[in-house]
A and B are shown apart, each in its own frame.
Chain A
Amino acid sequence: MAKSRDLTYSQALNELEKIVAEIESEEVDVDVLAEKIKRASFLIRFCKGKLRTAEDEVKKVLSEMEEGPVEEAAGEEGDGY
């Protein structure tokens, strides 16, 4: 199982869809069912949380962008604005 840090929306959605299909199949063992429901609820919380925090994303993008604007500014000066 992927850790939340590495988990993407599409991985989470795919896994969740798989789990729901499994637990609705009626063939699932009781102990397994409890485990699956636990995992499903983790994935749901993960997705809903990520939609509303995005803290990591902000930090990542901003740290990467720190070099960006400098290059950009230098480029514009070079173009003789």
Chain B
Amino acid sequence: MPMEDISSEKKALSLSQLNGLIKAAITDTLPDMYWVTAEIAEIKLNQKGHCYLELVEKEDDTTIAQIKATIWAYEYRAISSKFQKATNEPLARGMKILLLAAVTFHEVYGLSLNIRNIDPTYTIGEMARKKREVIDRLRKEGVIDKNKLLELPLVPQRIAVISSPTAAGYGDFINHLDANPYGYRFVCVLFPALMQGNEAETSVIRALDQMRKKRSDFDLAVIIRGGGSTVDLSCFDSYALAAAVAAFPLPVISGIGHEKDDTVVDIVSHTRMKTPTAVAEFIISGVRAFEETIMGLEARTVNRAEDFLKDEKQRLNSLAQQLALVPYRLKSVHLNRLLLLQKDIRGHLRQIFHARKNRIENLQQAVRHLDPEQVLRRGYSITRHKGKVVKDATSLTSGMMIESTLHKGTVASVVQSEKAGKEGKDHGKKQGPDLLPGLE
């Protein structure tokens, strides 16, 4: 074998000699520093403060290039804080960065890039591009407005909260709700989740799943974080979380607590508020709006009731006034009737008196006709025998002395004969009607 030949000829280099050659070659061929774009596949800090990274380039999820890189502690602090300030994110796995690096070769540690600078604007652009892609995808799938199309509850009183239980923002939220000036009571139930870091995305999605099972107990869902660091919001730009929020069956109010661009979760949530306190304020205003509606209806009811009472009072008053007049009117009516009656009675009395008078006059006349004096005057006579009135001729016999009283004077005579019978009686009867004229 040729290899054996070579080693036996003692022309072999030691490993360090070879690495020395490599190092020299690299230094000669790649003496400058280069701007390179790469994705961070791994990143860690060691105890001395040096930062070690694994950089990759991917094409359709397949790694097509990979290299180790370092940022020495001396420069790491400045580079990372500049990056974080610009992007609001710390350097992290999955990020694409534009870095300035020298290619170095160490005899023991091999080939690596020594990173001297990182340009955050590239990462910002990359993040924005990624975010746009997520938004475009949600839009294409027709879910981006799904949560916004849900109607807000009439009264948001039962609130399901996703937050970290220890977050200051969660305390702010609860305190602000409880301290509302109207005395409203809220029911808040926390579905705890990690709100930052690599686990945040799955943790929040899991909390949403828990919440979904209890959705009939709640009017509204809120996702809040805040207090502490305002960095590392990348989980709120993730497709999976944004899709879960967009498709959530209750309106989701976000209060993720940052001043910069909206995250995708903010974009798909029903309503985006800046801080947890603002979310609480929003909820209180919703309840207040309902109560104001009720108060408006109350005012209208009260108005109507007052109008009604006023009308009734007026009606009662006018009735009372009418009633007050009744005695007077009754009095005058009765007086008139009395006067009429009086008149009637007088008329009747006059008639009665008149009739009586007539009758009395008739009677007087009749009585006058019966007076014996009057009878004698008309030619009748009274016959007596020994002072006794003779009514029957048979009681007389011839030779008896009788005395006849006429209208004027008396005649004494002697009976020659007597005729008894009907004539006398008829005569007597005949006298009756003649004697009593007008006595009917």
Hey, which bits of chain A sit against chain B, CB under 8 A?
9-10, 13, 16-17, 19-20, 23-24, 30, 33-34, 37, 40-41, 44, 47-48, 51-55, 57-58, 60-61, 64-65, 68, 71-72, 75
Contact = CB atoms under 8 A, between A and B. Distances in A.
B189 interface: yes
B189 A16 contact: no
B353 interface: no
A71 to B, nearest CB: 8
Secondary structure dominating the interface of A = helix
Contacts of A40: 297-298, 301
Contacts of A75: 206
A16 to B, nearest CB: 5
A33 to B, nearest CB: 6
Contacts of A57: 157-158, 187
Contacts, number: 83
A60 B214 CA distance: 12
A33 B297 CA distance: 15
Interface stretch (B101-109, B271-279, B288-296): B288-296
B292 to A, nearest CB: 11
B185 A13 contact: no
A13 B187 contact: no
A69 B19 CA distance: 60
Most chain-B CB neighbours within 10 Å: which of A17, A30, A44? A44
Given A37-B305, A64-B214, A9 B290 contact: yes
Nearest to B155: A9
A29 B407 CA distance: 101
B365 interface: no
A57 B291 CA distance: 18
B294 A68 contact: no
Given A33-B308, A48-B291, A54 B157 contact: yes
Interface string B374-412: 000000000000000000000000000000000000000
Contacts of B294: 13, 16, 44, 47-48
Nearest to B312: A30
Closest 10 CB pairs of A and B: A54-B185, A40-B301, A9-B155, A44-B298, A23-B304, A47-B294, A37-B305, A61-B217, A52-B183, A20-B300
B332 interface: no
Given A9-B290, A61-B189, 9 more contacts: A9-B155, A19-B301, A23-B301, A30-B312, A52-B184, A53-B185, A61-B158, A61-B217, A64-B214
Interface string B166-189: 000000000000000011111101
Contacts of B305: 37
B250 interface: no
A21 to B, nearest CB: 9
A40 to B, nearest CB: 5
Interface in B280-321: 287, 290-291, 293-294, 297-298, 300-301, 304-305, 308, 312
B154 interface: yes
A41 B298 CA distance: 7
A29 B159 CA distance: 43
Contacts of B210: 68, 71-72
A54 B304 contact: no
Contacts of A52: 182-185
Interface string B17-33: 00000000000000000
Contacts of A20: 297, 300-301, 304
Contacts of A53: 185
B214 A68 contact: yes
A67 B13 CA distance: 72
A47 B291 contact: yes
